[in-house]
């Protein structure tokens, strides 16, 4: 079974985080990968014009929460826009469901679908702890495998 992704802050040499005992080299590699994710120049994300007013509010909130993390890039604009739109759709569906006395099964399914979309995009964007840890882990693995380009076909 693959090792669970763990953020560098909770890893300690010899400590058990995520079900694995980490070596000092693994902890240092993960911290270096997390640090290397910080960009040299500031990137300004601009919301797409098709986003609704409510989704733009979510966009600004997410950007504010991510200040100083340097996680997203201009390439992530559309993914973030879909996340923000799904967040608004989920919130609206949730309000509609709350107003109903007896919940309609189709509305419950719709709510669950929006929740799945939100969770998927949040994870892909690194908006969850696991997503951020997975991004750092991938970067670490790329650095640690010195012979990958020699043996890759």
pLDDT per position as a tens digit, 83-120? 999 999 999 999 988 888 778 889 899 999 999 999 99
Euclidean distance between CA atoms 92 and 97, whole angstroms:
9
The answer as to whether 51 is a domain residue is yes
The answer as to whether 3 is a domain residue is no
The answer as to whether 90 is a domain residue is yes
- Identify the pLDDT of residue 1: 42
The answer as to whether 152 is a domain residue is no
Residue 80: give the domain boundaries.
8-141
Q: Please give the torsion angle defined by the CA atoms of residues 128, 57, 100 and 107, in that order, rounded to the nearest 10 degrees.
A: -50
The answer as to whether 49 is a domain residue is yes
Q: How many domains does the chain have?
A: 1
Is residue 78 predicted with pLDDT exceeding 50? yes
Neighbours of 3 (CB within 10 A): 11
Q: What is the pTM of this model?
A: 0.63
The answer as to whether 153 is a domain residue is no
The answer as to whether 105 is a domain residue is yes
- Identify the pLDDT of residue 120: 94
The answer as to whether 100 is a domain residue is yes
């Amino acid at each position: 079974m693959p090792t669970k992704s763990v953020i560098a802050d909770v890893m300690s040499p010899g400590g058990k985080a995520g079900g694995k005992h980490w070596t000092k080299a693994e902890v240092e590699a993960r911290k270096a990968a997390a640090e290397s994710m910080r960009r040299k120049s500031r990137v300004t994300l601009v919301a797409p014009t098709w986003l609704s007013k409510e989704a733009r509010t979510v966009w600004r909130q997410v950007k504010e929460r991510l200040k100083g993390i340097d996680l997203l890039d201009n390439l992530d604009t559309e993914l973030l826009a879909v996340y923000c739109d799904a967040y608004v759709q989920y919130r609206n569906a949730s309000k509609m469901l709350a107003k109903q006395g007896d919940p309609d099964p189709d509305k419950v399914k719709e709510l669950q679908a929006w929740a799945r979309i939100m969770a998927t995009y949040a994870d892909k964007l690194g908006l969850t702890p696991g997503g951020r840890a997975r991004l750092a882990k991938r970067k670490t693995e790329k650095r640690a495998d010195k012979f990958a380009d020699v043996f890759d076909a």
